[in-house]
Amino acid sequence: MTDTMRRGIQVLACGAVFAFGSLVIAQDEPATTDAAAAAAPAAAEGAASEPLEAAPAEDAGEEAAEAPAVPVKARPSEMAPLAASSLLLGVSNSGKHLIAVGDRGNIVASNDGVHWAQVEVPVRATLTGVEFVDENNGWAVGHDAVILHTADGGRTWKLQNFQPELEKPFLDVLFTDASHGMAIGAYGLFMTTSDGGASWAELSAAPIREEELHLNAITRLGNGQYFVVGETGMMGVSADGATWERLTAPYEGSLYGAVPRGDKGAVIFGLRGNVYTSDDVRAGNWTKINVGTVASFFGGALLPSGDIAMVGLAGEIAILTKSGQVKNTKVQAMAGVTGSGTLSGAIPWQGGVLAVGELGVSRVGL
């Protein structure tokens, strides 16, 4: 099987204009959109997102001089009334607003998880992840090695990194404070910053980058150490974010996410319903969890109760309780839509889960 899921879907939605502190909803006529949907970890396939090409030199005779290279410029995203119902790959709660990112540079915001509105973004590349460290400072990453920053809670976004020539997407981003952060992605892509993203530099040689495997997700364990999972069972841990140790995974297939559990442990998940848990990731003692499905899981979240939610293929949701029990549910399909759509990211919200994916935003009570 491949990691890429493609479907043509028809959705009905309403457009919205976002005003921080309030939402003004503008009704639009029902419209149809086709989403070539892929889960976030599969974004490495076809990494570049339609970069502009330099214009060819004009013909100036048989020995025309080569034209100087024209820098590739980012194109701003287009405002679309169906942005909140289209492919979304990452979501974050700033503490004041909910921010979700996805296809074609779309960023949508909400005050209540129900009404969503699009904000202007300086790129059109697909965005795969978003992270806020406080109510104001957030970062979004995606194709064309894009890194965006907001210092005003998502009102405006500025471009910090744009390298379409790399043909590598970022797949996840993690910040520990407003200065120190990491962005990881396809083919071992790994950049760090210590000045809030004013400058980014590639991580020096590290065991987790040697094979140029896709690095799919990064998180912090309960003890503050950094933990990365990726392609073909790639796992790594670091105490300082600079020096990394390659770990032996319990599963050789792709791992798409990790959620911290306890002080030193984590729950990891990936292809075909493979979920494992450990009290100490460095110790290497992993226990396989029977989640009752072979659906792949692409996103997860630690809930206030201590339970862990995992979301994935065809709207599948699995809840791993603190006691080790598994509860399964599915996102209900939208009216008039066949299938529930793949989910790629989740956060806890109002006693349940707010998930994003192929059909936009879904809210699930637990």
Place of tokens 């949907």: 37
CB neighbourhood size of 348 (10 A): 17
Strand, coil or helix: 232 = helix
Q: What is the pLDDT of residues 199-214, one digit of tens each?
A: 999 998 899 999 999 9
All domains in the chain, ordered by first residue: 15-43+72-365 (2.130.10.10)
Looking at residue 135, its pLDDT comes to: 97
Which residues of the chain carry a pLDDT beneath 50?
Answer: 1-40, 42-70
DSSP letters for 159-187: EEE--GGG---EEEEEESSSS-EEEEEGG
DSSP letters for 187-230: GG-EEEESSTTSS-EEPPS-GGGTT---EEEEEE-TTS-EEEEE
Looking at residue 132, its pLDDT comes to: 98
* pTM score of the predicted model: 0.82
Looking at residue 333, its pLDDT comes to: 66
- Angle, CA 140 vertex, CA 204 and CA 13 arms, to 5°: 155
Strand, coil or helix: 256 = strand
Looking at residue 364, its pLDDT comes to: 86
Looking at residue 14, its pLDDT comes to: 30
Nearest partner of 186 among 126, 247, 144, 147, judged by Cα: 144
Strand, coil or helix: 291 = coil
Looking at residue 109, its pLDDT comes to: 97
Contact between 146 and 123 under an 8 Å Cβ cutoff? The reply is yes
Residue 103 has which token pair?
Answer: 């296809």
Residue 62 has which token pair?
Answer: 């048989």
Rounded Cα–Cα distance for residues 66 and 216 (Å):
40
Looking at residue 326, its pLDDT comes to: 96
The residues with which 173 forms a beta bridge, in sequence order, are: 183
